[in-house]
Amino acid sequence: MPDDRNFFNEMLDENGGPRPPYARLAQWLEDKPANFLTKKSRDAEMIFRRLGITFAVYGAEEATERLIPFDPIPRIISAAEWRRLSIGIDQRVRALNAFLHDIYHRQEILRAGVIPEALILQNEAFLPEMVGFTPARKVYAHIIGTDLVRVGEDEFYVLEDNTRTPSGVSYMLENRETMMRLFPELFQTNRVATVEQYPELLRRTLESVAPDGGKSDQTVAVLTPGIYNSAYFEHAFLADSMGVDLVEGRDLFVDAGKVYMRTTREPKQVDVIYRRIDDAFLDPLTFNPDSMLGVPGLFDAYRAGNVTICNAPGTGIADDKAIYAYVPDIIEFYTGQKPLLNNVPTWNCSRKEDLAYVLDNLDDIVVKEVHGSGGYGMLIGPTASKREIAEFRKVLQHNPSNYIAQPTLALSACPTHVASGVAPRHVDLRPFVLIGDQVRITPGGLTRVALKKGSLVVNSSQGGGTKDTWVLED
Amino acid sequence: MLGRTAASLFWMSRYHERAQNVTRLLEVAYRGAIMSHNGQEHGTHLTFALTNSGLESDYRQKYEELNIRNVSMFMIFAKDNPLSVRNSLELARNNARAVRTSITAELWEAMNTTWIEFTEVNPQSVTQEKLPDFLAWINQRAHLFRGALLNTVLRNDGYFFSQMGNFVERADNTARILNTQYWSLLPDNDIIDDGSTERYQWSAILRALSGRRSYRFAYPHARLKAFNIAEFLILRQEMPRSLAHCFDWIADTAEDLAQYYGSREPSLDLAIEIHRELSGKQMRDIYQEGLHDFLTIFIGKNNQFAQQLSEDYNFA
């Protein structure tokens, strides 16, 4: 393996020997014949296709269901590394929920001048409709996907806090199932922490935030936009593995402030909705009047305390890219402690001096749209052409407050199966966190991998793949 | 269970049954067409498949020439033919996808694999020589679907709705084929000679309804006779595609639903009424009443039943 020391190699140390968590895997890889992984990759693809683990691609008429490439070599995290990460994640998600409760109530953090008022109150992601309302257990973001990157032995950064409707957890679970089918022997030689408990924990989390916590028989439903949504497979998968109904907006109605499902018999009241549709589409009476996906009257039923919506409407303010830079301050403000996980230093292009710095250093940094996602509308300076940079400069100057910028991080790399054999490719990590009666973090998460050599973009929409993520037990 | 889920399970099965029925019609037409040695006869066989599926006029609008290639493209692959096998398989799978949580993994994999493999076939590659194998493959896949359903699905409301979809479609298909060919099934034809058009129609009907072999067992001492064939496909309960068999199953299932939910709905009464009419009848009564009228009324009642079922259980 060529040893490029510009990034942290998770499998190999400086001398080319395996780091301890990878010791057994490295040996195993070495023992296998050359075409072994190629064959196993084909088997994996067959499994995924038959199970229908696909995501929809908008716009393409044929083959609208595609597979996310799956890399058969696992990414491994040691027990000690995971302990450190999970304590940091726990601190962060608690602070973000405290922040959400505060800005929809007394707004102490604005009064204290920690965050500029305009950044919240004029933010599209801030929902005035939520002001004064307190959801069960004061939890707003029940499911969070914290995007992490690693740049060194002990250096992790939080790239993004996905507090709206983070997706990808079905890949975490199905990747593991597939790995266990493909390589049972690896699970005998490595003590890998299980992830299969996630659906059960998700259900417990959702039930724990029902409006009437004392009821023994809570009705939970997963609300999906329908079979043409890109993440439909995941919606069906989660409903199925939790044993709850998968509903579309048209299956629900509101009567006298309560939400019901239309069943083959009498209507059934719903206590908790795990929604996988955006705020704007939840309720045409309160938000986007053209929404065909939502349920008229749902928001009123919610405010009346008759149903819990997970995640709560308005949680987007906590993962807004303009707020991101303030998360370390948010953590200190609500917990009184220093943040355990680092933020990536961020320049806010709406600030004059930040903009000037960004414009001077476009070759070296990454610029992102404040409301963008999926790897669209961003500039990665070091890999962009002169022309791309010139064009981006114009766009940026035209509307600077729409952008933030960050230094280009040297993402760590993991061994990955490629055409020429096994080579390091850059990865990130999205652990999934559940917040209800307690905070539950499933060991591992979704590892996304940039399959192109040297690429730092791991999004599936930009040619990224996924890997099974192992947290080893002591 | 959601009303929409019940509807999707009903239609999942119904479209699957439809895909298989269209496939079988095409098998019969293909067989007849390759055996015939003049153009006119050739055309008759192909027309058999088109008229029995109610597609003749749509076909004529799209194609000038009547040949095996065009007919099979139209009935298997055409996106603009609402009854094509392709469209039925896609709709069946979409309905299954919408209720992924209510069907078993085995059932889903059976359907999904069919769809994946079907879409990987280039229509141009299905030449006349390859057509029989391809049709047999679709048939096998449909059997696999039904087997997975019967072997893995819990006997609850979802199962009952899927059975309804299957047998409403099957009864409709059998009744339509008989009604389109009713003239060949009039008892006067029993005196006619071997080699006549009617004789060919008889065996084609039996093949299209998978009844050619089983007819021999049901009527071990009789030659092919219009009277027997009609009786076999309408009144004989042991024939799995007969109207009596379909409504035996439908009435039982309606009873199961009533028991499951603890309440009796109008669709149950309708199912029992149709079932009783079929089981109390003799073939002579039907001929007396008029075969064509009898079948036309049956098709209407079968539709009415499906409509009532969807109202009773909030399919919309």
For B1, name the nearest residue in chain A, comparing CA atoms only. A263
Partners of residue A450 on adjacent β-strands: A464
Contact B2 A247 (CB under 8 A): yes
With CB atoms and an 8 Å threshold, state whether A245 touches B101. Answer: yes
Whether B105 and A51 lie within 8 Å, measured CB to CB:
yes
Residues 6+ apart with CB under 8 A from A436: A137, A139, A142, A204, A205, A206, A207, A208, A209
In CATH, the number for domain A212-306 is 3.40.50.11290
Lowest mean pLDDT among A158-172, B26-40, B51-65, B217-231: B26-40
Domain boundaries, chain A: 20-211+307-340+410-471, 212-306, 345-407
- Searching chain A, which residue's CA lies closest to the CA of residue B161? A264
A181 CB within 8 Å of a chain B CB: no
Apex A411 CA angle, A409 and A412, nearest 5? 145
Q: Is the pLDDT of residue B191 over 80?
A: no
- How near does any CA of chain B get to the CA of A82, in Å? 33
B2–A263 CB contact, under 8 Å = yes
Percent of chain B beyond pLDDT 90? 75
Each residue's pLDDT tens digit, A336-351: 999 999 999 999 888 8
> Judged by CB atoms within 8 Å, which residues 214-233 of A form the interface with B?
226-227, 232
Q: Which of A181, A207, A452, A447 is nearest to A310 (CA)?
A: A207
- Partner B contacted by A265 (CB < 8 A): yes
Query: Looking at beta carbons, which residues of chain B come within 8 Å of A177?
Result: none
Q: What is the CATH number of domain A345-407?
A: 3.30.1490.270
For residue B6, the chain A residues in CB contact (below 8 A) are 264
CA–CA–CA angle B180, B185, B186 (5° rounding): 115
B101: confidence class by pLDDT, cuts 50, 70, 90:
confident
Closest residue in A to B114 (Cα–Cα): A50
Residues A426, A423: Cα–Cα separation, whole Å: 10
Query: Residue A251: which of B2, B94, B112 has the nearest Cβ?
Result: B2
Cβ proximity of B251 and B171 under 8 Å: no
Say if the Cβ atoms of B261 and A265 lie within 8 Å.
Answer: yes
Q: Give residue limits of the domains in chain B.
A: 1-153, 155-316
B2 to A51: CB separation less than 8 angstroms, yes or no: no
Residue B253 has pLDDT above 50, yes or no: yes
8 Å CB contact of A264 and B98: no
Q: Is A49 on the interface with B (CB under 8 A)?
A: yes
Instruction: Give A58-97 pLDDT, tens digit per residue.
Output: 554 545 677 889 999 999 999 999 999 999 999 999 999 9
What pLDDT, on a 0 to 100 scale, did the predictor assign at position A1?
Answer: 38
CA distance A242 to chain B (A): 10
Q: Which pTM does this prediction carry? A: 0.86
Of B94, B109, B313, the CB nearest to A51: B109
Q: Do B3 and A264 touch (CB under 8 A)?
A: yes
Q: Model confidence over B37-95: pLDDT tens digits?
A: 677 777 888 888 899 888 999 999 999 999 999 999 999 999 999 999 999 999 999 99
Q: List residues of chain B with CB under 8 Å from any CB of chain A.
A: 1-6, 94, 97-101, 105, 108-109, 112-113, 116, 157, 261, 263, 313-314
The pLDDT of residue A64 is 63
Instruction: Supply A289's token pair.
Output: 């009047």
Neighbours of A45 (CB within 10 A): 14
Confidence of residue A213 (pLDDT cuts 50, 70, 90): confident
Give this complex's ipTM. 0.77
Model confidence pLDDT, tens digit, residues A87-146: 999 999 999 999 999 999 999 999 999 999 999 999 989 999 999 999 999 999 999 999
Phi and psi for A344 in degrees, rounded to 5? -75, 130
d(CA B249, CA B237): 10
**Average pLDDT of A41-68?**
75
Number of Cβ pairs < 8 A linking chain A and chain B = 57
Interchain proximity B4–A246, CB inside 8 Å:
no
pLDDT of A3 > 50? The answer is no
* Phi, then psi, of A220 in degrees rounded to 5: -110, 145
> Is A72 in a helix, a strand, or coil?
strand
Minimal C-alpha gap between A244 and chain B (Å)? 8
Which value, in Å, is the radius of gyration of the alpha carbons in chain B? 20
